[in-house]
Amino acid sequence: MSSYALRRICRALLLSVLALLPHLVCAASAPTRPNILLIMADDMGFSDVGAFGGEIATPHLDQLATDGLRMTNFHVAATCSPTRAMLLTGVDHHRAGIANMKELITPSQRGQPGYLGHLDPGVPTIAERLRKAGYHTIMSGKWHLGVDAEFDPANRGFEEVFTLLDGGHNHFGKPNLPPPELGGVHYTENGEPVSIPDDFYSSDYFTDKLLGYLARPTDKPFFAYLPFSAPHWPLHAPKENIAHYKGRYDAGWDALRRERLQRQQSLGILGDDIDMAPPATLRQWESFSKKEQQEFARKMEIYAAMVERMDWNIGRVIDELRSTGQLDNTVVIFLSDNGAAPDTLSSFANKVPHFPSINAGQPEDWGGADSMLSYGTNWAQASTAPYRLYKSVVTEGGLVSPLIVRYPGFARQASIDKRFATVLDMVPTLLSIAGVRQPETPEAFSGRSMLPFLMRETETIHQPDELFGWELFGQRAMRQGDWKLVYVSKPNGTGDWALYDLASDPYETEDVSAAHPGVFEVLQQGWQEYQRTMGIILEEQVVSPWTAL
């Protein structure tokens, strides 16, 4: 080839590169929308994770918390399906179709607006919104927002999904829960019923499926939802995890609660003025026989093993994202759906024919597929430390969830924050992160995007005069700023309204309604408007088939 011809070829190549250069520059400078990984635990207490004061081995969550933002004043609903409805729609659960849990809708509520027992088809989910905006939407885990085919998550915006449709199941896959009398258990993949393998363990299998979906090539950012069914009862865990906690809880629940409070102080979650005295509702460990203490301790060992195994699986997902170079372009969010569960299962077992025997067998064999256990009110109060009470109750113990938000692109990272936020804030936040235009909505008490707060553009998420309401099972609360008005039925409460100043009394120990009648009146009026706007049909349900308080 002559030198002239070579120069012509080189010149042509140079002109081609120069012609493409503006496009290459634009492509390089175009903002990359982050992936989103939303992880939810089921019935996990505020203080179970190490980064929130727990002794359970949760190194992967602890690392996410250390790297990211820990929020200690994040509020959800008092039970699972109402929280899940709000998490996925950004709409109050009374408007999203889950005004009451399907299992507990009363005759006066049945057929009324909001009391559908499944997610309202007219309320868009975050998966539907993000899929429309170009995200690849995947899910693996518990749904609990409708078991009929039309309500399957495959029909609510998820492109690839394996799901447990029910509220609970045998974590090892034995088909005894829910009992056949209640319709049995339902697993689907992409909307079609599927069977599960013999070596099924819920946390492992949910993670396997999600990792499989993540491995499929796509040129889209992903929205991945990983809602575990752990550590919801029945208490089931692999033997090797249970063995890590042998003897760990022999000192009892009050000792554990004190230990966690002290660790929360050392982490900066609590101040030095916390009252270490056990709550009046906490039974004395010494009042039980040695045999009873051993049985209680064994249950807590299994519960801890479930949390540890869930954390290990979260680590598998984080490791995969790191190995593929996607971790630092993924917003990772972790929360629980409500406070720790006080269930004893006795009420359920008494009401449902052929319900599996509870507390059967020898304690050393507990935790396997044939056992049916829950850990009860006293361990639950340790799990929700420092807050009052637990799941099903609208006190802080039932409503406050640990929240971890990890993303290097946010200005607020590697810190702990005590500002108020709510699960209703999640949908507008995720839409903002994804660069999706916020929908115009007239909904009352709706959430706000946390993105300006996460970027340090604002110092708060909500204004002090905003009102927030909660209601479930006739238990109700209203909050404005640090004031909280609470109605809790007996025996957990007085059966009357009580007013708390959460600024000085975040643990709801002193009713100050007599000293602040004006505040009391404002919140009472707020509650009445909330009840009217949401179409709430009040039915006090203190003891449910799922919860014996």
**What does the alpha-carbon distance between residue 395 and residue 43 come to, in Å, rounded to a whole number?**
15
**What does the alpha-carbon distance between residue 373 and residue 305 come to, in Å, rounded to a whole number?**
14
Does residue 26 carry a catalytic annotation?
Answer: no
- Angle CA(141)–CA(143)–CA(147) in degrees, nearest 5? 125
CB 137 within 8 A of CB 159: yes
Catalytic residue among 80, 118, 236, 462: 80
3-class secondary structure per residue, 215-258: HCCCCCCEEEEEECCCCCCCCCCCHHHHHCCCCCCCCCHHHHHH
Sequence-separated (6 or more) residues with CB below 8 Å from residue 84:
40, 98, 143, 144, 145, 227, 337
Does residue 144 carry a catalytic annotation?
Answer: yes
Of 233, 225, 256, residue with least CA distance to 131: 225
At 174, give phi and psi (nearest 5°): -65, 130
3-class secondary structure per residue, 58-105: CHHHHHHHHHCEEEEEEECCCCHHHHHHHHHHCCCCCCCCECCCHHHC
Tokens 């693996």, residue? 140
Rg (CA), the chain: 25
Catalytic residue among 144, 169, 232, 236: 144
3-class secondary structure per residue, 377-395: HHHHHHHCCCCCCCCCCCC
548: which 2 tokens?
């014996």
249: which 2 tokens?
């809880």
**What does the alpha-carbon distance between residue 488 and residue 497 come to, in Å, rounded to a whole number?**
7
Q: Helix H segments across 384-486?
A: 396-399, 426-433, 451-454
Instruction: Count Cβ atoms within 10 A of the Cβ of residue 234 and give its class: 0-12 exposed, 13-18 middle, 19 or more buried.
Output: buried
458: which 2 tokens?
């604002």
Residue type present at position 288 = F
Residue type present at position 293 = Q
Catalytic residues: 80, 144
